[in-house]
Amino acid sequence: MNALAAPSVPARLAALRQAMRRHGVAACLVPTADPHLSEYLPARWAAREWLSGFTGSAGTLLVTADEAGLWTDSRYFAQAERELAGSGIALMRQKVAHAPEHLAWLQQHLREGETAAVAGDSLSLAARRQIERLLGEAGAALRTDLDLPAEVWPDRPALPKAPVVEHPPAYACVPRAEKLERLRASLRKHGATHHLVSSLDDVAWLTNLRGSDVECNPVFLAHLLVQAGGPATLFADRGKFDDALVAALAADGVRLADYATVVDALAELGAGDALLLDPARVVCAVADALPAAVRRIEAANPSTLAKARKSPAELDHVRETMRRDGAALVRAFRRLEDRLAAGMAQTELDVDALLREERAAQPGFVGESFATIAGYQANGALPHYRATPGSHGALARKGLLLVDSGGQYLGGTTDVTRVLALGETTAEQRRDATLVMKGLIALSRARFPKGASGPQLDALARAPLWAGGMDYGHGTGHGVGYFLNVHEGPQSIRPPVPGGALVPLEPGMITSIEPGLYKPGRHGIRHENLAVVVEAEHTEFGDFCAFETLTLCPFDRRALEPGLLSPEERAWLDDYHATVRAALAPLLEDADLSWLERHCAPLGG
């Protein structure tokens, strides 16, 4: 959805406030969510964007009778400030000292007897409980049976209609019937008769199906209800499936039902049934259909952890995908350098187009895994910057270009960031890029006891920056799906959060390693590889794990200050580049091969 012009936003807020008055609601909460609690949304549920004009992927809008605030994190501060200008909505910076988070603000702004509303199809069971507890302390109430944004959104987009397709068995590796039987075994261990799966990546993985209902994420709108001792029901739009696929699903014990009838199916469960559901992954509008007599078993979706632990066969496909993706990056970066050297005018948009063209030529390519971030100089300091036809930077033969991009392939999902030196760089830029590189190397080389979590390792990547009084405001690593969402749980590498779960990093889990540094108005640095957790060794102190780097693409040594690297760090970088050269050289020739050889040369050479 395109960004909205600021003058139209006040009128939309006025219409929302009128609806609030009609229903006796003092505050309206509009999260970034859909009935599957997705990170990236189909246009139909982009209510927060439609009301506020803020186009970032993360944010929460709160509207009262006389105030409105948009909460987002440091990745989007500059973008939100620009897009909210003149809207009447205040930018509320999340995770900033002395700034109230949105629920604390809501609690402070509601009086006893007042009511807040949030659409029940955009709020998890766990979140509703948290909000009800906080509002209860203020004597206020929460309603989830009202969708106030929908009442004032006359041209709300329809449900997406993209077809659903089979993930080819050669790539899916494990048949869906086997995945579902493993899930049923887990249900029996929980004492559950049924299990509701609403998260789209879990549904897609369990059924070996893929779609395109969400931009850059190969998923489709659906709920899945699995019986421990019987068939599974997939609630989705029948028009998206051809007859052959419907028959194949039926042969594996999966029947189709209309997307909207999931609430009817839950309502039909009886007193002898026990439903396993994840309160953080199911919206209250769906869960509220469950009769009180049905026993609820609340636990994480078993498929979430199973999906995160990639099998050896899946990892073989991922490694080959990384080779193909790395070759595409080499070709694109070489072409960009040649164009600049020839004096051709190039912009950030041209970088995006080059990457798309080269990836599209690779076998198994399906699409991008997220919108490319190509930020030149000061634009690189915006962690989630996106060039548009109406606002983009022109490149010159100096300074730094940050390029964060990825692809969706039948054999895996990629996500890689490189910082390119387009010409002369400053000592500050080279120092900053090297400090970030030291953090990437430290985490990439880590050995850690089996059972350690991402928050326990996060400081390794930040320590070189901390030593200089610097830091970055985003996590260091996120899980990555297998031809699925580029952001996948349950694992992550980020600073510890009080009360937050410590999910162990287990063998087979893929994570990004992406420390960064951002200096507004000057430059931004982020180096990113994907890595898989592997078993390392057994000692008298137990089993230890390590990271195997999967991404295959040279770092631009011209952006670094090699003298700041220790001998061990230099050796790691030289070894990495030797691995990249050996893996990619058979896929390249002529100018592309020469470019690879030049950029993979040892630091001392």
In a domain, residue 185? The reply is: yes
Q: How confident is the model at residue 258 (pLDDT cuts 50, 70, 90)?
A: very high
In a domain, residue 359? The reply is: yes
Question: Are 334 and 213 part of one and the same domain?
Answer: no
Question: Are 15 and 59 part of one and the same domain?
Answer: yes
Q: How confident is the model at residue 98 (pLDDT cuts 50, 70, 90)?
A: low
- Nearest-CA neighbor of 556 among 413, 425, 367, 379? 425
pLDDT digits (tens, 9 = 90+) for 103-140: 999 999 999 999 999 999 999 999 999 999 999 999 99
Task: Find the length of the chain.
Answer: 605
User: What does the pLDDT read at residue 79?
Assistant: 86
Q: What is the mean pLDDT of residues 438-459?
A: 97
Domain boundary among 259, 281, 308: 308
Q: How confident is the model at residue 498 (pLDDT cuts 50, 70, 90)?
A: confident
- CATH number where 445 lies: 3.90.230.10
Q: Average pLDDT over the chain, rounded to whole?
A: 95
Tally of structural domains, the chain: 3
Q: What is the mean pLDDT of residues 212-225?
A: 96
**Residue-range definition of the domain harbouring residue 96:** 8-151
In a domain, residue 605? The reply is: no
In a domain, residue 200? The reply is: yes
Checking DSSP bridges between strand 68-72 and strand 90-93, what pairing results, if any? parallel
Question: Are 291 and 348 part of one and the same domain?
Answer: no
User: What does the pLDDT read at residue 6?
Assistant: 35
User: What does the pLDDT read at residue 7?
Assistant: 41
CB atoms closer than 10 angstroms to residue 355: 24
Question: Are 197 and 304 part of one and the same domain?
Answer: yes
Q: Which of 361-394 are b and which e, b meaning 16 or more Cβ less than 10 Å from the residue's Cβ?
A: ebebbbebbbbbbbbbbbbbbbbbbbbeeeebbe
Query: Is residue 605 scored above 60 in pLDDT?
Result: no
pLDDT digits (tens, 9 = 90+) for 277-290: 999 999 999 999 99
pLDDT digits (tens, 9 = 90+) for 312-324: 999 999 999 999 9
User: What does the pLDDT read at residue 447?
Assistant: 97
Q: What is the mean pLDDT of residues 382-407?
A: 93
pLDDT digits (tens, 9 = 90+) for 46-94: 999 999 999 988 899 999 999 999 999 888 888 889 899 999 999 999 8
Query: Is residue 5 scored above 70 in pLDDT?
Result: no
Question: Are 236 and 186 part of one and the same domain?
Answer: yes
User: What does the pLDDT read at residue 210?
Assistant: 98
Domain boundary among 257, 279, 308: 308
In a domain, residue 438? The reply is: yes
Domain boundary among 293, 308, 323: 308
Query: Is residue 565 scored above 60 in pLDDT?
Result: yes
Task: Catalogue the long-range contacts made by 135-141 (C-beta closer than 8 Å, 24 or more residues apart).
Answer: 135/106, 135/107, 135/110, 137/107, 138/107, 138/108, 138/110, 138/111, 138/112, 139/111, 139/112, 139/113, 140/26, 140/107, 140/110, 140/111, 140/112, 140/113, 140/114, 140/115, 140/116, 141/114, 141/115, 141/116
Question: Are 345 and 263 part of one and the same domain?
Answer: no
In a domain, residue 63? The reply is: yes
Which of 263-272, 403-412, 478-487, 491-500 bottoms out in mean pLDDT, i.e. has the lowest? 491-500
User: What does the pLDDT read at residue 3?
Assistant: 43
Question: Are 319 and 201 part of one and the same domain?
Answer: no
Question: Are 335 and 304 part of one and the same domain?
Answer: no
- CATH number where 100 lies: 3.40.350.10
Question: Are 76 and 145 part of one and the same domain?
Answer: yes
Using a pLDDT cut of 90, give the percent of the chain over it: 91
Question: Are 331 and 298 part of one and the same domain?
Answer: no
Question: Are 265 and 344 part of one and the same domain?
Answer: no
Query: Is residue 1 scored above 60 in pLDDT?
Result: no
- Tracing tokens 């990056």 back to the chain, one arrives at 329
Question: Are 488 and 347 part of one and the same domain?
Answer: yes
